[in-house]
Chains A and B, each alone.
Chain A
């Protein structure tokens, strides 16, 4: 850990926005600011620790049903986001859930979601969120052929069945539907991927970023273990 923290800065990628802080509300469908790993190797799953921060977006009410969420995604058919129709599973926390806010004062809730062609699309609210500033564990891993279990703080909260075998891409970051959404700086710590042979986990050692729009800025420092999303 100390080695990682004090290690040389391997990747510093700044995606700066001239419009930062002056963003006008504009729908952008499902947009992303995320770090991804896509090395061509297959994995058994992905893991990350994320701090809970206040998220907001103006477009959450019906009929738009917008949202903004922090998430870990994994593909579940050994493909990448560049595939025509990748299967995937994700777990994170969201502000806005099908036109509603949670009863928590933050309006946020944990959730998980999946897509595969057999069971289709689904998302599930956990109906709860922890305090702002607390750090939590988010994880997806394949446990049987085509079954991916999702975990919050090591607790299995759901199962995505009828996926394919293995994960070729693991992403962590932000999904949002309006460029006027807001987020406080969020730390993504201790990213790990799992070997396909169950169940050894290891830290990510490299990666890159994707920003659909320059509203949200990513700063990557000290490997992948400590990433900040501004």
Chain B
């Protein structure tokens, strides 16, 4: 029995030391990721890590439209401006309307515009220019979450 208690005590002290050391590590600069192996572990953001519905207050429809029109590369005409959840906007677009750190219940403005739009990023091939586009804005922060154009 004393041996068991001793072992428990040592374990507790060791745990405290480890916790302390761990705290020290966490307080320092973040460690780089290790070299990758032949298999890569993956996960999706947990609900705790995601942005969720706020209930407002929201960016006004005028501000949302203004921000969306500024994304175009010329004069555009609003086709629609809708306050939706990410899930609803995803159904309209046919693909997920925001990155996975944004929850399905988060409120967004989905703005559809008829007007010139130039992709911001590319890889190769001819420079593209589209004549209609969509913009998804976080309705709470006003941040642009995504833009694009469907064929």
Interface residues of A (CB under 8 A from B): 1, 29-30, 47, 49, 62-63, 65, 67, 69, 71, 73, 75, 80-86, 88, 90, 94, 97-100, 103, 111-113, 115, 117-128, 130-131, 133-137, 139, 141, 149, 151, 153-159, 161, 171, 175, 190, 192, 199-202
Contact pattern, B 107-151, Cβ under 8 Å of A = 1, otherwise 0 = 000000000001111111111101000000010010111111111
Give the nearest-CB partner of A89 in chain B. Answer: B123
Contacts of A127 in B (CB 8 A): 101, 138, 141, 143, 145
List A contacts of B38 (CB < 8 A): 200-202
Some 15 contacts from A to B, beta carbons below 8 A apart, are: A67-B120, A81-B124, A83-B125, A85-B126, A98-B70, A98-B120, A99-B70, A112-B99, A120-B148, A120-B150, A123-B120, A127-B145, A155-B43, A159-B96, A190-B36
Chain B contact residues, majority secondary structure:
loop
- Closest A-chain residue to B46, C-beta based? A155
Further 13 A-B residue pairs, CB within 8 A, beyond A30-B122, A90-B121, A156-B43: A47-B36, A49-B36, A73-B123, A83-B124, A86-B123, A86-B124, A98-B71, A119-B150, A122-B95, A133-B29, A135-B32, A151-B40, A171-B123
- Distance A71 CA – B122 CA, assembled complex (angstroms): 11
Which of B33, B45, B98 has the most chain A CB atoms inside 10 A of its CB? B33
Check A201 against B40 for contact (C-beta < 8 Å): yes
Instruction: Check A154–B41 contact: CB distance below 8 A.
Output: yes
Known: A137-B36, A200-B38. A157 touches B119 (CB 8 A): no
Mask, B24-54, CB within 8 Å of A = 1, is 0000011011011111111111000000000
Given known A134-B30, A153-B33, A190-B35, contact A124–B95 (CB-CB < 8 A)? no
Instruction: Tell me whether B100 and A156 are in contact (CB under 8 A).
Output: yes
Looking across the interface, which residue of chain A has its beta carbon closest to that of B30?
A134
Q: Whole-angstrom distance from the CB of A215 to the nearest CB of chain B?
A: 18
Residues of A within 8 A of B127 (CB): 29-30
**CB interface residues, B 59-103, toward A, < 8 Å:** 70-71, 73, 94-96, 98-101
Contacts of B120 in A (CB 8 A): 65, 67, 97-98, 113, 123
Nearest chain B residue, comparing its CB with the CB of A103: B143
Cα A85 to Cα B146 in complex, Å, equals 22
- Cα A149 to Cα B45 in complex, Å, equals 13
CA gap between A200 and B40 in the complex, in Å: 8
Which residues of the other chain, A, contact B149 by a CB distance below 8 angstroms? Answer: 120-121
Chain B residue with the shortest CB-CB distance to A98: B71
Q: Are A115 and B36 in contact (CB under 8 A)?
A: no
**A137-B98 contact given A156-B42, A175-B121, CB 8 Å threshold:** no
Per the bound structure, the CA–CA distance linking A199 and B38 in Å amounts to 8
